[in-house]
Amino acid sequence: MTSLLRMLGCLLALGVFGVVVYLLLGWAHQRMQRLHDQVSPRFLRETVPLLLPWEPSVGLGDLSSLCRGRAEMSGWRRMYHARGTMQSCADRNQAWLAYTVNQRGRQGEVHLCTSKEQFLLEIRSDSSTWADRYASVTVNGGWLGRISLASREMQDALGRSLGRVTGGSLVTTYGTTNYRDVSLAGQSLAQINSNLLHPGQRLGPLPPAFLLEVPDVSPEEARWLLALLALELYQDRNRLNI
């Protein structure tokens, strides 16, 4: 009789535990969905009007690697959310870009805004392999192209290669830079810092997000550089420290 009561007590405890876990996971899912559907759009609506007026000839050179904002995660379906701004090198209290990142498992999206344009990266996969993951890129609703997450190759609407990101270190140190070469249309365009910074990681001068290697960047080239930066925000492994 005592053994039966103990067994029933254990079953009851397991049942209660299961209900609690189920409720917590359901709450986490609802919260992450609200961040995606409500908080992200509202944040962009409120923040974009406060950004510095975007001009690629000025903004690309002054854009720092510093991100300011918030991030949250849930182990339920591996969901992540981040929202914030990317600051000016000259004045870290001023921002050039506003962004939101929402990820669920192997898929997700990034909204990256200047004062004039909105970039949308939708991360998808044609199969279960990492090599097939890519980001489709639109700017103000118009198609720009796609970027492979594995190779960082940029392609046009017909799948033709436009350029890629190469170089850099495989292992990086927390709070340091990791510049990688960006080539587009057969020429070296810039270097991009793939190791983004967050408050507390840099007390001195802020490293730029880009080191430009051409005197004049065309509007199309500027869009590709910002699209690559949006992908770095998606890949950022420090977003919980934002």
Neighbours of 125 (CB within 10 A): 15
Tokens of 2: 């005592």
pLDDT tens readout for residues 97-125: 999 999 987 889 999 999 999 999 999 87
Please give the helix or strand (H or E) that residue 193 lies within, else none. strand 187-193
Q: Does residue 18 have a pLDDT over 60?
A: no
Residue 136 lies in a domain: yes
Tokens of 55: 């001009």
Residue 15 lies in a domain: no
Residue 151 lies in a domain: yes
pTM: 0.84
Tally the domains of the chain: 1
Residue 6 lies in a domain: no
Residue 1 lies in a domain: no
Q: Does residue 16 have a pLDDT over 50?
A: no
What residue numbers bound the domain in which 148 lies?
20-241
Cα Dmax for the chain:
86
Residue 160 lies in a domain: yes
Residue 5 lies in a domain: no
Q: Are 115 and 59 in contact (CB under 8 A)?
A: no
Q: Does residue 157 have a pLDDT over 60?
A: yes
Residue 37 lies in a domain: yes
DSSP for residue 218:
-
DSSP for residue 208:
B
Q: Does residue 87 have a pLDDT over 80?
A: yes
Q: Are 206 and 87 in contact (CB under 8 A)?
A: yes
Q: How much is the pLDDT for 224?
A: 97
Q: What is the mean pLDDT of residues 5-10?
A: 58
Q: Does residue 23 have a pLDDT over 50?
A: no
